[in-house]
Amino acid sequence: MKGKWFISVLFALVIGLGWSFAWAQNVLITPIGQRTGEFCRTDRALLFEDPTGVRILYDPGRSVAGGGDARLGAVHVMILSSVHADHIGEEKLNADPANVPCGASPPNNPNFTPTSQSNFAEIAAAKNSAVIVGGEMDAFLNKKIFNVLGLVPPATVAGCPAAGLTNEFVVPRASPCTAVLRHGGKRTATMAAGSPGVQIAVVRADHSNGIPRGILADPEKTDLAADNLTAYAGPENGYVLSFTNGLVVYLSGDTGHTGDMATIVNDFYGAKLAVVNMGDIFSMGPEEAAFAVKRLIKPTTVIASHANEVATTNGQVNAGTRTARFIDLVEGIPVHVPLSGVAISCNGQGQCVQGGP
């Protein structure tokens, strides 16, 4: 009997260790939203952690409480799909995410505080992040980070270094840096020179990309206000992140359908996890997004994003929402809802578990 008990315990221990090892090799994705355990109207931010330790923050928007947000930890790299207010963050959360309502969005919401330089720039400056963006966004964000740090001309924020043909840069950094990455290019963030790292590639997104006047400086702020215009910052973009465990993630950004979803995202990169914006009007709606997932991108798993609604209550998807409609239409492909603070762990094949082992 003792022998059988020992074998059973040993078997359980081996299985447990095997599971723990497999979990350690997964990419960890943590949504950072307005209210803990919910998917709210303002939520955009996702924090990715590679098995090597490289940590990448995507579209912090308004739901991150600036660079001092305790939920962040280290942020080695920051990426931004567009400079629109809900992505760059012309406001930031100022309330306890455990208690703040999941309701009304800015403007005029007391749970958010305006940011003159953008929430994105404040976080990058506080975390000494490498900022990798498309269009003309790098020069704009360089100046905003410069302002947050209180630098005096002719000082400037450094450009993120590149080494050889791999365009590799090493993190963590002692100071922030910015660099442009245009469609078809790639850069690799690594914890040690010459070691495996996370490849970041920019792909097409069909969307406008105007900087909100609230984070512009004069005279542009005043001049553009006369005609109710924003400042153009080059094309918006999506991203493809290739992690060291083999997982390839597509971040759609705000976009409509594009043929690149099939030919580039699927055929060339082979994305297994898709983070798809599906809030309608400003991006694909649930019907369009479901078509893109099933017919064009063809991932193993999907994370719904940018729903522009109070999508959940007590962590459960609300009936009649765009999120619920999207999940129904994507039948056959698992959909994870980005509940704030509830981690999603994904293996190299795009198979994901939400909430931990």
Each residue of 275-298: pLDDT tens digit?
999 988 888 999 999 999 999 999
Q: Give a yes or no: residue 5 inside a domain.
A: no
Lowest-confidence pick of 161-175, 320-334, 336-350 = 161-175
Mean pLDDT for 349-354 is: 96
- Per-residue pLDDT at 129: 98
Range of the domain at 240: 27-354
Mean pLDDT for 206-232 is: 87
- Per-residue pLDDT at 16: 47
Q: Which residues contact 106 (CB under 8 A, 6 or more apart)?
A: 42, 62, 85, 90, 91, 112
Residue 339: CB atoms within 10 A of its CB come to: 24
The pTM score is 0.91
Q: Would you call 165 helix, strand, or coil by DSSP? A: helix
Residue 254: CB atoms within 10 A of its CB come to: 25
Cis peptide before 154 (omega within 30 of 0): yes
Residue ranges of E strands in 11-53: 27-31, 46-49
Q: How confident is the model at residue 355 (pLDDT cuts 50, 70, 90)?
A: confident
- Per-residue pLDDT at 262: 97
Q: Is residue 78 scored above 90 in pLDDT?
A: yes
- Per-residue pLDDT at 153: 81
Q: Give a yes or no: residue 9 inside a domain.
A: no
CA distances from 159 to 90, 169, 173, 241, 262 (A): 24, 11, 12, 21, 33
Pairing of strands 301-305, 186-190: unpaired
Q: Is residue 320 scored above 70 in pLDDT?
A: yes
Instruction: Kindly report the CATH number assigned to the domain that includes residue 79.
Output: 3.60.15.10
Q: Give a yes or no: residue 2 inside a domain.
A: no
Higher per-residue confidence, 156 vs 70: 70
Higher per-residue confidence, 18 vs 93: 93
- Per-residue pLDDT at 11: 37
Write the secondary structure of 320-338 as one string of H (helix), E (strand) and C (coil): CCHHHHHHHHCCCCCEECC
Q: Give a yes or no: residue 10 inside a domain.
A: no
Q: Give a yes or no: residue 1 inside a domain.
A: no
- Per-residue pLDDT at 5: 36
Q: Give a yes or no: residue 11 inside a domain.
A: no
- Per-residue pLDDT at 22: 58
Q: Would you call 143 helix, strand, or coil by DSSP? A: helix
Q: Is 33 left (phi over 0), alpha (psi -120 to 50) or beta?
A: beta
Rounded Cα gap, residues 227 and 245, in angstroms: 50
Give just the sign of the alpha carbon dihedral 71, 354, 76, 266.
negative
Q: How confident is the model at residue 316 (pLDDT cuts 50, 70, 90)?
A: very high
- Per-residue pLDDT at 271: 98
Residue 165: CB atoms within 10 A of its CB come to: 6
Each residue of 220-278: pLDDT tens digit?
899 999 999 888 887 889 999 999 999 999 999 999 999 999 999 999 999 999 999 99
Mean pLDDT for 39-51 is: 97
Q: Give a yes or no: residue 18 inside a domain.
A: no
Rounded Cα gap, residues 281 and 277, in angstroms: 11
Q: How confident is the model at residue 351 (pLDDT cuts 50, 70, 90)?
A: very high
Q: How far is CA 226 from the centre of its chain?
A: 34
Domains of the chain: total: 1
Q: What is the DSSP string of 273-296?
A: EEEEE--SSSS--HHHHHHIIIII
Q: Give a yes or no: residue 251 inside a domain.
A: yes
Each residue of 58-68: pLDDT tens digit?
999 999 999 99
